[in-house]
Structure 1
């Protein structure tokens, strides 16, 4: 790509990878990193007639119908992450605006973290690390769990769920999953009901998308079904879990533990989960690898090049 006389404005309305993407854009583009601007539309105003694409991420500016109406030339919305909850899909469809995400790009990375969280919870690795650092060798005498033979359930069998299942096969752990419909060619046991799955497993992985359809899907009833020997591992979206119900279940010993990489109101994490001795918490780092970031940025550049290939605005 070579420099064009008038750089193409590209609003970047989410914080994740904003600086990395800006640095990777060819000189043909003018990145407008405005996710934290108090009045970003005022800053966009001079560029509105030329904005054909924008970039967003979950946790950034909501891309709603009102915003789309103010960008009459908008053709493409690129969400760097896997979800679409920050985009009004109905409004985009009504306008004929294409919405593309990074779904699947970091599935392997998220799955790897999920497996690590499971091992750490079962073997209490995070507790043992603290004891050694505090010179309290062997202070924690609580029995740990052998993973082989433990029953695993995966809620959500998309790219991340399938990547988790693939890695679990090496642990000799029977696998079941919950989804609206069975996924053809998968050899695992399908449950059409989440409570049925929770009742049948020891470790419940959550790899579900956010949005109203899954809001607080994991509630007190699901946690009760999982039982006092059960663990929850969430690498999907924080809104899937009723965090108040989870904290109560942990405090009452209704489940054995919870490992969470996502939360409903990030970056705020409920004190009840922070203070619980039976939680392992991560700051939404599932897809946070150099490899995934490079692939997501490369895919974004490819998609932008495709949009402008038919015009003289960008020369490849």
Structure 2
């Protein structure tokens, strides 16, 4: 008998059709995972063996407990911060992710946000739209410092962080990093704390995993260390940054600017951010490329096939 899959996040149409051709697929009919599971008839909930969803999808223990035969949770993307891992561990549920599938795409966006915020591209567009540019004879925007020679600090030198480092090197930036531990195989200097890294850096890129240990890791102390010429780029999860402290730092000039793809209370975004110069904003699209989606879906399929064959998962999350 084909295992039953609960598809709790959107996927590409080809992948959707592929899953339906091979497995029994139940699609979530409510926006929240809690609500979607609660809407399932008990007999259907009891049939579900596999859940496929983004790792940021909130899957609390109470909702997972209703899926009495659940054996596998496949996360689209590298994150798995929405899942109650303690519950999964207690029940022996295998949790998998796609650890490097979207790394290059997220790193690309990190550099785009960096260029946009440092070069103040939003203000440049507004300058054009206001009709203020009349060629060299007219009013000109003030020059700003470019990327060459800036010090780029990376918080979290995983797959995304390494790809950011490679791209930043092509811009002749100096690179340093902080992580859970030093990586002697990389040529970049390691800093023992985020505060030390921020004090050294001109730009701080946040690409760390979101969990209890990194909640508000970027706080007032870090932002003060980054300083009035510094920029913050966040492409990890919104919870890694104290958003209230960040807005205050931007409004008071404690830091120069920011590039944000993620927010603490998504999809809610503080309105003040739209009014500030040198702030680039995108709607959590770091991994939203065709290439990343294909790699993520291939990883999910490999984990499903291993599970149904009784084999170890290719990319298990440590529980």
State if a TM-score over 0.5 links the two structures. Answer: yes
CA distance in structure 2 between the partners assigned to 1:139 and 1:27 by the alignment:
61
89, 96, 108: which one aligns with 1:93: 89
Deviation at residue 267 of structure 1 after TM alignment: 0.8
Q: Which residue of 2 aligns with 1:28?
A: 22
Q: Which residue of 1 aligns with 2:44?
A: 47
What's the secondary structure of 2:142's corresponding residue?
A: coil
CA distance in structure 1 between the partners assigned to 2:39 and 2:12 by the alignment:
20
CA distance in structure 1 between the partners assigned to 2:212 and 2:154 by the alignment:
20
8 A contact 1:80–1:300 mirrored in 2: yes
Deviation at residue 148 of structure 1 after TM alignment: 1.1
CA distance in structure 1 between the partners assigned to 2:294 and 2:162 by the alignment:
22
Q: Which residue of 1 aligns with 2:124?
A: 128
> Structure 1 pair 93/254, CA: closer, same or farther in 2 (3 Å)?
same
CA distance in structure 2 between the partners assigned to 1:205 and 1:211 by the alignment:
17
Q: Which residue of 1 aligns with 2:262?
A: 262
Give the TM-score of the pair, scaled to structure 1: 0.89
8 A contact 2:56–2:80 mirrored in 1: no
Deviation at residue 27 of structure 1 after TM alignment: 1.8
Q: Which residue of 1 aligns with 2:305?
A: 305
Deviation at residue 44 of structure 1 after TM alignment: 4.9
Give the TM-score of the pair, scaled to structure 2: 0.88
Q: Which residue of 2 aligns with 1:296?
A: 296
What's the secondary structure of 1:190's corresponding residue?
A: coil
8 A contact 2:97–2:300 mirrored in 1: no
- Number of residue-to-residue matches in the alignment: 304
Deviation at residue 97 of structure 1 after TM alignment: 1.2
Deviation at residue 125 of structure 1 after TM alignment: 2.5
> Structure 1 pair 20/277, CA: closer, same or farther in 2 (3 Å)?
farther
What's the secondary structure of 2:190's corresponding residue?
A: strand
> Pairwise mapping of residues 1-316 of structure 1 onto structure 2 (< 5 A)?
8-14=3-9, 16-17=10-11, 21-34=15-28, 35-36=30-31, 38=35, 40-60=37-57, 62-137=58-133, 141-309=141-309
What's the secondary structure of 2:169's corresponding residue?
A: helix
8 A contact 1:12–1:56 mirrored in 2: yes
After superposition, what is the alpha-carbon deviation per residue over 1:215-241, rounded to whole angstroms, capped at 9, x for unaligned?
Answer: 111111111110110000000111111
List alignment gaps of at least 5 residues for structure 1. Answer: 1-5, 312-316
CA distance in structure 2 between the partners assigned to 1:225 and 1:304 by the alignment:
45
After superposition, what is the alpha-carbon deviation per residue over 1:158-193, rounded to whole angstroms, capped at 9, x for unaligned?
Answer: 110011001111111111101121013011010111
> Structure 1 pair 44/274, CA: closer, same or farther in 2 (3 Å)?
farther
CA distance in structure 2 between the partners assigned to 1:107 and 1:101 by the alignment:
13
CA distance in structure 2 between the partners assigned to 1:210 and 1:39 by the alignment:
24
> Structure 1 pair 108/139, CA: closer, same or farther in 2 (3 Å)?
farther
